Amino acid sequence: MINNRNLVLLTLFLWAGLLPSISRAEDGYRLWLRYDRIIDPQLLQQYRAAIHDLYFNTTSATLHAASDELTTGLSGLLGQPVEEIHSESAAINEGALLVGTPASSAPIARLHWDSALTPLGKEGFLIRHYTLDGQHGIAIVANTDVGVLYGAFHFLRLLQTHQSLRSLDITSIPALQYRVLDHWDNLNRTVERGYAGLSIFDWWTLPLYKDSRYTDYARANASVGINGSVLNSVNASPIILTPAWLSKAAALADIFRPYGIRVYLSVNFSSPMSIGGLPTADPLDPAVQAWWKKKVDEIYSYIPDFGGFLVKANSEGQPGPQNYGRSHADGANALADALAPHHGIVIWRAFVYSGSSEDRVKQAYDEFKPLDGKFRDNVLLQVKNGPLDFQPREPFSPLFGAVPKMPLMLEVQITQEYLGFSNHLVYLAPLFEECLNADTYAKGKGTPVSATITGMAGVANIGNDINWCGHPFAQANWYAFGRLAWCATSPTDRSAAIADEWIRQTFSNNPGIVDTLKKMMLASREIAVDYMTPLGLAHIMGYSHHYGPAPWYDKASRADWNPVYFHRADSAGLGFDRTVTGSNALEQYAPGARTLWADKKDCPDNAVLWWHHVGWNDRLHSGRTLWEELCHKYYTGVDSVRWMQKCWDALQPRGIDAERWQQVKMLLGIQQQDAVWWRNACLLYFQTFSRQPLPAGAEQPDHTLAYYENLQLYYAPGTANSGIPQTTNP
């Protein structure tokens, strides 16, 4: 039957068939949603036989989005138009793909899968075989439309990753309720710690100009189950709450809504003063409380399903309740009371430290532990994975498991502020997973961080670069964030499985390619740790921009912004004693967790300098002395980047497209150069304390320490600071 819709599809399909000959460049824009025709003839035959046509009753914008994705995706993958049958009364054909909820689809209601549907909740889905009216096929079913959308994306993923459709029995339910991207995007479109161009949110042309990219952003997020987006940076401009900007945020919310994404805004705690004209922002002042209530009511008039506020208060110069002698709970509760009638939430950040003499990594716990139970029910505390600041490796934050009366969000950084920006290939799933799996011992052995959280927030690495994230492999970190947040409590080796499916969708299903890229990705985080901050070192990056090594740096206005504060090198050894003989940050952990690190002799090598000051000649578990091991790690890091380069070079003739192959090759060149820089600069510097030689016969630094110390980086991306010293009058 050729109706209008089919004609359109057919035309599109014929056009798509022509595309390879006019050679569509692999510019990375399509992310992991590429839907190119499956080449393997047997697989194609299996899929074409299993999926005859699509039964859909698109009664909502969300179901419409799901049906669009399935028709585009299936037509692309199967290389033939897939007919969509809307009629509820139409007879079921053999191989009909039934998609929907019992409420939206009569055939699905007739399956009577109620008992399987009940546990799915509001976002889960089933993908299973059915027999109905003597016909057989596959059904994607959920309780809600957004569950159907997630199921549709999952089904497409099965095909994209070449899974068999022969015995499907999938039940998928998200482990965490909140799976949120935090954009650190400023209203002038710069992105704090952003390395992929300007913000994708073109505030200036919103709300009338709606870039099609906003829809593609929503599709990508929905495909991995991300259900929230904080549009603006936590260093928030109060302007975001003015009517003109609320209408811009509302336009985005309208585009994201069908994809199950709620919009949140970061707010500046002083907004009642700066845009409200009040003399104070004291959260206990009735006029301030009334202002927030009115403002929140106004926001809901623009965005009826507004998610709520994200707040950075009394941290790094941001205003907060402590400016008025009030606690974080007082501050959060004033906002929470305004949001509660609308079912909105406050996500209050635990990233606070005051520049006091107390070990910086202890301060968040000291601040929030005593406040447990003092926050309203609709306040969540958002805690960075580690107690310091998104380092290549840190122990988990002691707040996980320590404030049982508060729901927690785990905050991870997808953008690579401390991991080589978008220049370095670093797959972050192993870092995220290390935290999720870490045992807090909060309720005895076997209480992983994942069991203490209600949600996960990821600081986005997205910008307006054509490939969204700068480095083609940085897309994997966005993808992995969503997938991990969805399945945070599943006990399997998720990093490997997620890398596998991402590679298959983004690059190729060729086993040789999958194998090589997976090896590179899974090794890459440890490689970065080796050439940047091995053995538990932390925060020895360049001041302010955080790119490249500067372990010598001691000029920052605050002690806890200086690398020397964190590594504590001296003639005796290296490392920060955080045990009972030092800052005793260890005490903030449950006794079971402490035993892992407390004793210098037992402490794992990969954390030892975080917890202990270790003598240069002390032997580590590796059998090498600290100095030998430090050298070994830095040299291994460089060698391993060169290994990644070799792996990549070997792939060119095996099917990676020229455009992305060349891009990654050049970026690996930068990474190699930077790894050498890190190794040389750090070893030359630490050598001034250890007074021991670099390994005999090893590649020697090609510059002096003074050379590295004098390197200046100007205009590093991601920071407003140009790096040029201010010596003259402005």
Could you list the residues that contact ligand GCW (CB under 6 A)?
A: 184, 192-193, 233-235, 312, 316, 351, 389-390, 417
| 207: CB partners within 8 A, 6+ apart | 247, 248, 250, 251
Comparing CA positions, the residue from 607, 434, 427, 433 lying closest to residue 523 is 427
Least separation in angstroms between CB 417 and ligand GCW = 6
Q: Could you say which of 394, 417, 618, 674 is catalytic?
A: 417
Between the alpha carbon of residue 605 and those of residues 361, 518, 526, 615, 635, the distances in Å are 20, 25, 13, 13, 16
Comparing CA positions, the residue from 83, 111, 99 lying closest to residue 145 is 99
| 724: CB partners within 8 A, 6+ apart | 714
Least separation in angstroms between CB 49 and ligand GCW = 52
- Known active-site residue 192: no
DSSP sequence for 464-519: SSTTSSSSGGGHHHHHHHHHHHHTTT--S-HHHHHHHHHHHHHT---HHHHHHHHH
389 versus 560: smaller Cβ distance to ligand GCW? 389
Q: Could you say which of 123, 389, 394, 530 is catalytic?
A: 389
Q: What is the C-alpha separation between 533 and 566, in angstroms, rounded?
A: 11
Residue 572 has phi, psi (to 5 degrees) of -80, -35
H-assigned helices in 171-242: 212-223
Least separation in angstroms between CB 565 and ligand GCW = 15
Least separation in angstroms between CB 243 and ligand GCW = 26
199 versus 506: smaller Cβ distance to ligand GCW? 199
Least separation in angstroms between CB 418 and ligand GCW = 8
125-132 and 169-172: which strand pairing?
antiparallel
Q: What is the C-alpha separation between 130 and 150, in angstroms, rounded?
A: 19
End-to-end CA distance of the chain: 73
Burial label, 110 (beta-carbon count in 10 A; 0-12, 13-18, 19+): middle
513 versus 716: smaller Cβ distance to ligand GCW? 716
| 599: CB partners within 8 A, 6+ apart | none
47 versus 309: smaller Cβ distance to ligand GCW? 309
Comparing CA positions, the residue from 455, 460, 496 lying closest to residue 477 is 460
Give 267's strand partners: 311
Q: Could you say which of 316, 358, 366, 639 is catalytic?
A: 316
Q: Which residue has the tokens 């190699």?
A: 672
Q: What is the C-alpha separation between 138 and 657, in angstroms, rounded?
A: 34
417 versus 629: smaller Cβ distance to ligand GCW? 417
6 versus 544: smaller Cβ distance to ligand GCW? 544
Least separation in angstroms between CB 281 and ligand GCW = 19
Give 265's strand partners: 309
Least separation in angstroms between CB 722 and ligand GCW = 16
DSSP sequence for 680-699: HHHHHHHHHHH--PPPTTSP
Between the alpha carbon of residue 347 and those of residues 200, 294, 295, the distances in Å are 23, 19, 17
Q: Do 408 and 399 touch, CB atoms closer than 8 A?
A: yes
Least separation in angstroms between CB 717 and ligand GCW = 12
Q: Which residue has the tokens 């201010």?
A: 726
389 versus 530: smaller Cβ distance to ligand GCW? 389
| 694: CB partners within 8 A, 6+ apart | 631, 683, 687, 700, 701
- Known active-site residue 316: yes
Least separation in angstroms between CB 320 and ligand GCW = 12
Burial label, 587 (beta-carbon count in 10 A; 0-12, 13-18, 19+): middle
Single-letter residue type at 541: M
Least separation in angstroms between CB 393 and ligand GCW = 15
248 versus 312: smaller Cβ distance to ligand GCW? 312
- DSSP assignment letter at 390: S
Q: Which residue has the tokens 């030998």?
A: 628
Residue nearest to ligand GCW (CB): 389
Least separation in angstroms between CB 553 and ligand GCW = 15
83 versus 417: smaller Cβ distance to ligand GCW? 417
130 versus 396: smaller Cβ distance to ligand GCW? 396
156 versus 364: smaller Cβ distance to ligand GCW? 364
Active site positions, annotated = 316, 389, 417
